[in-house]
Amino acid sequence: SQTIHQWPATLVQPVGSPLSLECTVEGTSNPNLYWYRQAAGRGLQLLFYSVGIGQISSEVPQNLSASRPQDRQFILSSKKLLLSDSGFYLCAWTRPPGNTIYFGEGSWLTVV
Amino acid sequence: DQQVKQNSPSLSVQEGRISILNCDYTNSMFDYFLWYKKYPAEGPTFLISISSIKDKNEDGRFTVFLNKSAKHLSLHIVPSQPGDSAVYFCAANTGGFKTIFGAGTRLFVKA
């Protein structure tokens, strides 16, 4: 069966510090990978998606970037965090031609 | 531009009664619709889905209805249980790609 893991689960970072969130998917190959963010009291906003190694598309202009160095690994990064980057970050995957998206456990980021 | 809208931020229902959560969409290219349940500080979990070629899909206590002409879907939970209390997200995609989510509806089921 397929599983998805992301880490760290919780982190508190000062403004201006870097960020790296990692996500891996097991039990499948060539997945589409996604990063979503849920800001406090809001819905799920799609940040990045990837259909293959090295292929990244950004949905919103922001202080964040994503990379996919391996088929089942997706990384969310920032060089300098802003207060507005605080939120709940979710990694997710789909396996074409499947239509259902599956989520990781989430990572709480608080920028102070 | 919100392509998927959940206009009710919260809903309160008595245990044993029906919960009806509503969702509207604007993009006629969507061909697959999903509902997710989310608890605080956890990732959303998939509940039920429906293809645009159907108008109803049922799974146990959960039924999703799709009205394509109105660009509207709804999730019915019968009977509602206290454990159903969570945030419910409506979502849609085209060919499984770039799933777009609504803002969510918080359901409270009172014992």
CB-CB contact of B4 with B92 (8 Å): yes
At B3, phi and psi to the nearest 5? -85, -25
User: Residue B12 has what pLDDT?
Assistant: 98
- Unique residue bearing structure tokens 């809208």: B5
User: Residue B1 has what pLDDT?
Assistant: 66
- Name the residue type at position B24: D
Interface test with B, best of A46, A99, A107 (most B CBs within 10 A): A99
Across A81-101, average pLDDT: 91
Across A79-98, average pLDDT: 92
User: Residue A41 has what pLDDT?
Assistant: 65
Q: For chain A, how many residues are written? A: 112
Closest CA to B6 of A88, A106, A44, A100: A44
Across A59-74, average pLDDT: 91
Across A11-38, average pLDDT: 95
User: Residue B55 has what pLDDT?
Assistant: 97
Closest partner CB to A49 (pick from B34, B98, B103): B98
- CB within 8 Å: A104 and B91: no
Residues in chain B predicted with pLDDT less than 50, given as ranges, are none
> CB of B34 within 8 Å of any CB in chain A?
yes
Distance, CA of B80 to CA of B45 (rounded, Å): 18
User: Residue B87 has what pLDDT?
Assistant: 96
